[in-house]
Amino acid sequence: MRRALKRCARGVREVRMFAHAMKSPSHPILAQIVPIRRCNLTCAYCNEYDRTSAPVSLETMLARIDRLADLRTTIITLSGGEPTLHPDLDAIIARIRQRGAIATLITNGYLLTPERIIRLNGAGLDYLQISIDNVLPDDVSKKSLKVLDRKLEWLAEYAEFGVTINSVLGAGVLRPEDAATVAQRARGLGFTSTVGIIHDHSGQLKPLAPAHQDVYARLTQLKGSLFSFAHFDSFQENISRGLPNAWHCRAGGRFLYICEDGLVHYCSQQRGRPGIPLADYTRDDLIREAARPKGCAPFCTISCVHQTAMLDDFRTRPRETLAGIIERRRQLDPAFQPPVMVRALSWMFLHKRRRGVLGSVLLSALRIPTERE
């Protein structure tokens, strides 16, 4: 019962996120923030960690969370490094929730125990993501199903938050079949399963080899939610083939990456741009950087940035975007019908007059303030 109630509460917050994104073009939808750069692993393909950094102080982290909340950020994700190494992680998560944002955590899972999972429940964590790179550890990555499977069982037993397991394909992955094995195990435990493609040091794509393409095609046939990235969007399909995507990256506005030094960057792979301290970041900065074209966009593989752009596409081109999502989903599953909530929101927002009248009622009911544009 408690898990069901928490799922219901998360669902309400997600609807608020969607409605807020439809109403306002100038607040961050998602911010990733680094509480510690140190990691307990040394995956060969990763450039987002070191072995020596101290954790950012709790006082500093809370101030940064408050600043993101003041910018009306909807989702705040703790990443790293390895964020579970931070001694005050629970307090940071609690602050995110206290300020009204959705709290998510990206972890390698190594430090999870039943007691740790229960503490994350108590802190109010909404979602947790683990990427599992292989079935057996190798020289590239120790994030293997063999090592983490017991952790997954503990998550299935104790977690009151949503869990996503990300399978990995691309250069450096020795056995592409492992991605399918990981996905099947994740779904067998009741978790959401996604697939990611390893990028190079600047976030740019590398075309998948034929064996990886075959596994990717099988994984995209797995049934999932309407807004599961691998299922609805042509981005991932183009990425798998090494083809460019025509899209406008809104990083620096709708998506923020805040490093351990408190600077705002476009993403983890474009550090230094714009490089403005979060404490000084303003709404004008959000609007300017979201509008700025990024030369790295056509071959970008950073899926969370694509997803925030998708929400803006939904806001500015609702009919075309919704039609594309549903068409792609029905190609995979001809019997697919959009969820009732999606149909209701679409009915409200896809018609200009209804969007003005009923949208305002919905935003008021969800306690989303009207923003002066």
- Position 1 in a domain: no
- Position 332 in a domain: no
DSSP secondary structure of 282-325: -HHHHHHHHHS--TTGGGB--HHHHHHHHHHHHHHSHHHHHHHH
- The residue segments making up the domain with residue 252 are 27-305
pLDDT at residue 44, rounded to an integer: 81
- In sequence order, which residues have a C-beta less than 8 Å from that of residue 169 and are 6 or more positions away? 176, 179, 195, 196, 197, 198, 208, 212, 215, 216, 240
- Range picked from 10-19, 279-288, 301-310, 341-350 for highest mean pLDDT: 279-288
Asked if the model's pLDDT at residue 2 lies above 80, the reply is no
Nearest partner of 298 among 231, 248, 338, judged by Cα? 248
- Position 338 in a domain: no
Say how many domains are in the chain.
Answer: 1
Answer whether 300's CB lies under 8 Å from 205's CB: yes
- Position 82 in a domain: yes
List, for residues 30-89, the tens digit of each pLDDT value: 999 999 999 999 988 888 999 999 999 999 999 999 999 999 999 999 999 999 999 999
Q: What is the mean pLDDT of residues 98-113?
A: 96
- Position 19 in a domain: no
Asked if the model's pLDDT at residue 27 lies above 80, the reply is yes
- Position 315 in a domain: no
pTM: 0.85
64, 76, 270, 277 from 68: Cα distances, Å: 6, 8, 20, 12
Asked if the model's pLDDT at residue 273 lies above 90, the reply is yes
- Range picked from 198-202, 220-224, 327-331 for highest mean pLDDT: 327-331
- Position 128 in a domain: yes
- Position 123 in a domain: yes
Which CATH number does the domain housing residue 101 bear? 3.20.20.70
